[in-house]
Structure 1
């Protein structure tokens, strides 16, 4: 029998049970190289992984079966690079999250994960041309200064941010709420091709995972977690965009909002957030200067 490495065992475990690192840590503390996991009782696995006894039994059966599957080869064939939590390219800023991803599945230019500064640019799925116009003032200075633009590959403002960055010759990362075998939403099919060929898409889910509505709030914490600063163009008062914004504020990130016309429902989120501590932004040089000031202070 071929001896499995920790990397292979971790891939197999995560394929069967794609949980964040905080859920996996009790098991790793007891079995740090995962050599004992396949021989553990269902009771032990239930206790360490916080599973019901029945789920633990099914996990053990599936895990032992997947151990013999050539996952590394399958991922390589599909140009997917798994980046586990102990990989040198794993973003250190994600490790500060309460629930860091156990593995990031990357497709595209993984060197983007070694860059110095990241700014997330997000907004409403039904964003208007106001978002596009705002980005024409905000993105060029960021791109010119080598800042990587992060967004969520959703339709609307996210797609605008990725496409505009590409058109400017910049670097952009798309964070997915599903695995790489799915392109969602369908309207962004061409954008996926651009991102995978020229930029980078990231997911914390194995490639076979399909979109589910509860995965997108999980994705949003990575959008805010990866960035040094976050920009919101348009958003309704209660929306996933505002939740991401709040997550960024709670984690000490600089948050910038584009002030919007009071006649638009998509201005309610940014305008309200300006009252709660976000900074108004109308030009990317404001963010660049803040970055330079921060570097000087360090």
Structure 2
């Protein structure tokens, strides 16, 4: 039986309507069945938006070939809406959950496994490989699912280490599945899609744009029991993910390093501000033994 509410949400999403506007529509029209029959003037009054936005919304809602595109994409990708049973439970809990996820690979990795996001600078120090070997590799061998953003630097190192050890990894993209970024990671993308899972909230044809990467970071932290920062400079985009993890009530861990390395300054600052210092994998495992059962609850 067709889930009408699911496809109505997908239709709104494919029309290019923002997350915020869709949520506003849901408040006034929970079944999403009435909005298509409203005039721009009625939308203006119901949603408390300007006439300019109402006219634009009306045009978006009356595009052709949207349904055809949805069915075409469903043949190529997994598409999960927030109304679907397979939508990851842990993402429902975050302040601004994605309404739709597009994925390639093993959807079972979205279940409440032991998941940890491993993040850090795009320009790591020479010590970074040792930190990955010392802390991340044991996590992989212990069955943790490694979540990261497939960026160059620490992200790629974490994914590659997981694939090398035949572990489980999830990559969260800041672009659509038909526009892989960075392009140099095409091979890595295909490996993760084959042996792990690649997810994004962006429509398949969405090109990478700068604002989308900070936005996707809430999904990286949201999918994870905890966030582990391997290296970060003092002013690093990594800190955005850390802030989101804290807002989501997730644990945050940071790896210390030489005080002479700029790549460790951000980690030291996090530790000063309350992140848990990780000297080896036992620091994470002990917390998991104490708090992990709660994470595994459906």
TM-score by shorter chain over 0.5 = yes
Q: 1:220 to 1:297 in 2, by over 3 A?
A: closer
Q: In structure 2, what is the Cα distance between the partners aligned to 1:96 and 1:259?
A: 30
SS in 2 for 1:158: helix
Query: Could you list the per-position Cα deviations for residues 207-257 of structure 1 after superposition, in whole angstroms to 9, with x for gaps in the alignment?
Result: 111111111111111111221111101111111101211222233221111
Give the structure-2-normalised TM-score: 0.90
Residue among 151, 154, 157 paired with 1:154: 151
Q: Are 1:26 and 1:48, in contact at CA under 8 Å, matched by a contact in 2?
A: no
Q: In structure 2, what is the Cα distance between the partners aligned to 1:70 and 1:45?
A: 26
2:136 alignment partner in structure 1? 139
1:120 alignment partner in structure 2? 117
SS in 2 for 1:69: helix
Give the structure-1-normalised TM-score: 0.90
1:71 alignment partner in structure 2? 69
Q: In structure 1, what is the Cα distance between the partners aligned to 2:220 and 2:117?
A: 6
1:17 alignment partner in structure 2? 16
Q: Where in structure 2 are the equivalents of 1:33-182 lying within 5 Å?
A: 33-46=31-44, 52-66=50-64, 69-78=67-76, 80-182=77-179
Q: In structure 1, what is the Cα distance between the partners aligned to 2:223 and 2:169?
A: 12
Q: In structure 2, what is the Cα distance between the partners aligned to 1:45 and 1:194?
A: 46
| 1:67 CA drift (Å) | 6.2
Query: Could you list the per-position Cα deviations for residues 74-123 of structure 1 after superposition, in whole angstroms to 9, with x for gaps in the alignment?
Result: 21343x11110111121222222222111111111111111422100000
Q: Are 1:232 and 1:257, in contact at CA under 8 Å, matched by a contact in 2?
A: yes
| 1:179 CA drift (Å) | 1.1
Q: Which moved more, 1:152-161 or 1:45-54?
A: 45-54
Count of residue correspondences: 294
1:217 alignment partner in structure 2? 214
**Structure 1: 5+ residue runs without aligned partners?**
none
1:265 alignment partner in structure 2? 262
**Structure 2: 5+ residue runs without aligned partners?**
none
2:244 alignment partner in structure 1? 247
Q: In structure 2, what is the Cα distance between the partners aligned to 1:292 and 1:89?
A: 26
1:285 alignment partner in structure 2? 282
CA RMSD between the two structures: 2.2
SS in 2 for 1:236: coil
Q: 1:48 to 1:27 in 2, by over 3 A?
A: farther
Query: Could you list the per-position Cα deviations for residues 142-187 of structure 1 after superposition, in whole angstroms to 9, with x for gaps in the alignment?
Result: 2233221100111111011111111111111111111111010011
Query: Could you list the per-position Cα deviations for residues 122-146 of structure 1 after superposition, in whole angstroms to 9, with x for gaps in the alignment?
Result: 0001113322211111123322332
Q: Are 1:177 and 1:211, in contact at CA under 8 Å, matched by a contact in 2?
A: yes
Q: Which moved more, 1:269-278 or 1:7-16?
A: 7-16
